[in-house]
Structure 1
Amino acid sequence: MIASLEYQVARKRPAVPAVLLGRDVAKDAELLVPRHENAVLRRQLTKPVRYEPADRL
């Protein structure tokens, strides 16, 4: 029983840093996507963009 538990812990140990690092990567990607979308939309517009307070919220 103990050997089985040690085996399971040893197998899951390499996954812990990947999960912790994955959180930061996912958060960064979540922030970069809207920025990229805004950049693409700005390139398509000919006049300057004026944001309303509701847009900023």
Structure 2
Amino acid sequence: MIVSLLFEVTRNLLPVPVVMLGSETMKDAELLVLRHESAVLRRQSAGRARWEPADRF
């Protein structure tokens, strides 16, 4: 019983550092995707994007 409890606790705690270390990488990847999406939309509209205040929010 103690071994199974230790196994479960260890199994649940192992992903924590991965999530903490990966959060910066995931944020960078999301920013790259959003910048790419913005560049594609800018090319499609053939001009400067006109952002409304609601869009900025």
Q: Normalization by structure 1: what TM-score? A: 0.52
How far 1:31 moved relative to its partner? 4.4
Cα distance in 1 for partners of 2:34, 2:50 equals 17
Report the aligned-residue RMSD.
2.6
- What's 1:33 paired with? 33
- What's 1:48 paired with? 48
Question: What SS class does the counterpart of residue 21 from structure 2 fall into?
Answer: helix
Greater C-alpha Rg: 1
- What's 2:14 paired with? 14
Cα distance in 1 for partners of 2:19, 2:49 equals 39
- Residue-pair matches, total: 54
Cα distance in 2 for partners of 1:18, 1:35 equals 25
Q: Which runs of 5+ in 1 are unaligned?
A: none
Question: What SS class does the counterpart of residue 50 from structure 1 fall into?
Answer: coil
The sequence identity of aligned pairs, in percent, is 57
